[in-house]
């Protein structure tokens, strides 16, 4: 039986690591849509910028870990500026205007990336401290992949606890059903808008930085990631945090397993097929409820 372990456990772990990253990306998209009711077409761009922050830090000699931390800080600040200066004036103009504005932001990010770093893809090496492997359950598995799974899991649980236990989290959940009632209790909804948007894009940037040693980064990465994140959000249910977690883990594992056991040519196609199946059965996704972000 032990000879079967590498054939079973390794693809499952690969799928889990990619699934956790998909959750990190899509949960920010879910929270932004669920609370702000904004379809963030620039979300993939923030993921991409996170990867470039890691690349810049490594190339400048600061190292990979400072690059990851720098990506979180820089993209959080960029998210604050985007929400305050670009989105805030548009809240009274309707969803179509907001969508077009975020498409414009996405195009600006992509153009800036090409202008600064060129059209060639970039990559960084896995840090020496995390470049080895460990043996368990009959397989030898890279420490770095286990590390990003652990970091991702910690962030996912931390966000859930924040939504469930903190006062701001309670306001976010209450505001999803009745923003006027939340305001009537003296809550600063505009500030929470900024917090949700900045936090949402920061998790995408974290995923981008962590995935750069594995998948690299390039000007087209943002669009690819955005499509995959939207599929996760729709399958899980628009605005459903629980749905984005379950869908992200499930689709990530499904994608890797199909590529490994069926054909590498089906990479990415699998999750699109899963989207079509789910929409035929449950048009609102697995946990979607119109107008409400489910816990």
Residues 123-143: tens digit of each pLDDT: 999 988 888 899 877 788 899
Is there a domain that residue 111 lies in?
yes
**Domain annotation covers residue 238:** no
Looking at residue 229, its pLDDT comes to 92
In this predicted structure, what is the pLDDT of residue 225? 93
**Phi and psi, residue 160, nearest 5°:** -60, -45
Residue 243, in any domain of the structure: no
Domain that holds residue 59: 19-219
Cβ neighbours around 34 below 10 Å, total? 26
Domain assignment present for 203 = yes
pLDDT tens-digit profile of 254-266? 888 888 888 777 7
Name the domain count of the chain.
Answer: 1
Which tens digits make up the pLDDT trace of 172-216?
A: 777 666 666 666 665 677 888 899 999 999 999 999 999 999 999
* Within a domain: 283: no
Whose structure tokens read 């600006």? 108
Is residue 244 situated within a structural domain?
no
The pLDDT of residue 293 is above 50: no
For residue 91, is it within any domain? yes
């889990």: which residue's tokens?
A: 16
Contact, 152 vs 16, CB < 8 A?
no
Q: In this structure, is residue 2 part of a structural domain?
A: no
| Helix/strand/coil (H/E/C) assignment for every residue in 119-187 | CCCECCCCCHHHCCEEEECCEEEEHHHHHHHHHHHHHHHHHHHHHHHCHHHHHHHHHHHCHHHHHHCCC
CA distance 175 to 185: 11
């Amino acid at each position: 039986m032990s000879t079967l372990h590498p054939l079973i456990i390794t693809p499952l772990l690969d799928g889990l690591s990619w699934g956790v990253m998909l959750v990190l990306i899509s949960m920010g998209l879910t929270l932004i849509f669920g609370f702000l009711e904004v379809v963030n077409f620039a979300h993939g761009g923030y993921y991409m910028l996170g990867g470039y922050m890691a690349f810049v830090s490594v190339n400048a000699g600061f190292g990979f870990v400072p690059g990851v931390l720098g990506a979180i800080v820089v993209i959080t600040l960029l998210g604050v500026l985007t929400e305050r200066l670009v989105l805030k004036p548009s809240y009274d103009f309707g969803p179509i205007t907001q969508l077009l504005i975020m498409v414009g932001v996405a195009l600006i990010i992509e153009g800036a990336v090409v202008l600064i770093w060129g059209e060639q893809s970039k990559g960084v090496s896995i840090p020496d401290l995390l470049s080895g492997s460990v043996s368990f359950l009959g397989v030898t598995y890279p420490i770095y992949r286990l590390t990003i799974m652990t970091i991702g899991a910690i962030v996912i649980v931390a966000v859930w606890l924040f939504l469930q236990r903190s006062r701001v989290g309670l306001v976010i959940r209450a505001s999803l059903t009745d923003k006027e009632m939340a305001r009537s209790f003296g809550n600063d909804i505009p500030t929470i808008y900024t917090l949700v948007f900045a936090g949402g894009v920061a998790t995408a940037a974290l995923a981008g930085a962590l995935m750069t040693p594995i998948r690299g980064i390039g000007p087209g990465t943002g669009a690819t990631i955005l499509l995959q994140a939207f599929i996760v959000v729709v399958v899980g249910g628009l605005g459903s945090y629980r749905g984005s977690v379950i869908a992200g883990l499930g689709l990530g594992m499904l994608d890797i397993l199909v590529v490994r056991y069926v054909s590498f040519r089906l990479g990415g196609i699998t999750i699109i097929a899963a989207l079509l199946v789910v929409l035929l059965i449950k048009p609102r996704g697995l946990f979607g409820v119109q107008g409400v972000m489910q816990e």
